[in-house]
Amino acid sequence: MLGGRRMSELTDKVDVNRMIRERAAKAQTAMKNAGVGAFLVSKPRNVRYTTGAIAQTADGSQEMYIPTLAIVPADGKPPHVFTAYPEGVPGSIPTPNIHEPLRLEFAPAASQLASLLKEYLGSALNGKIGIDSWTWHTYQLFHKEMPKTQFVDADFVLNAVRYIKTDDEMQCLVTAQELNDAAMYRVYEDFVPGVTETELGGRFNNIMAQMGVPIQHIDPFFCAIPQDSPGTEQPPFRLTNRVRPLEEGDLVLTDTGVLYMGYVSDMGTTWYCGKNTRPTQKQKDQYKRWREIIDNTLESCKPGKRSEDLLKSGLKAWPKDAPKPWPKGLYLAHGMGLEGEEQPHVGTDLGVDIENVFVLQPNVPLALEPYVYEEGVGGFRHELLIYITKDGYKVYSEWPFGPLVS
Can you give the residue ranges of every domain in the chain? 9-162, 167-404
Q: Are 44 and 68 in contact (CB under 8 A)?
A: yes
Where does the pLDDT of residue 12 fall: very low under 50, low under 70, confident under 90, or very high at 90 and above?
low
User: Mean pLDDT, to the nearest integer, of 283-292?
Assistant: 94
Question: Average pLDDT in the 297-319 region?
Answer: 95
Instruction: With a cut of 80, say whether residue 232 has pLDDT above it.
Output: no
Question: Is pLDDT above 80 for 406?
Answer: no
Mean pLDDT, residues 69-75 taken together: 96
Average pLDDT estimate for 316-338: 88
Of 225, 257, 231, the C-alpha closest to 244 is: 225
Helix (H) / strand (E) element for 311: namely: helix 307-314
195-221 pLDDT, tens digit per residue, is 999 999 999 999 998 888 877 788 899
CATH fit for domain 9-162, picks 3.30.565.10, 3.40.190.10, 3.40.350.10, 1.10.287.70: 3.40.350.10
Strand order across the 150-153 sheet: 98-99, 80-82, 69-73, 36-41, 128-131, 150-153
Dist. CA 199–CA 252, nearest whole Å: 14
Average pLDDT of every residue of the chain = 90
- pLDDT band (50, 70, 90) for residue 228: confident
Residue 218 pLDDT:
84
* Assigned superfamily of 167-404: Creatinase/methionine aminopeptidase superfamily (3.90.230.10)
Q: Which residues, 6+ apart, have CB-to-CB distance to 139 below 8 Å?
A: none
The runs of H, that is alpha helices, within 87-226 are 107-121, 136-145, 154-162, 167-187, 197-210
CB atoms within 10 A of CB 63: 21
Average pLDDT over every residue of 377-401: 92
Backbone angles phi, psi at 250, to 5 degrees: -65, 140
Coil, helix or strand for 187? helix
Q: Of all residues in the chain, what percent carry a pLDDT higher than 70? A: 95
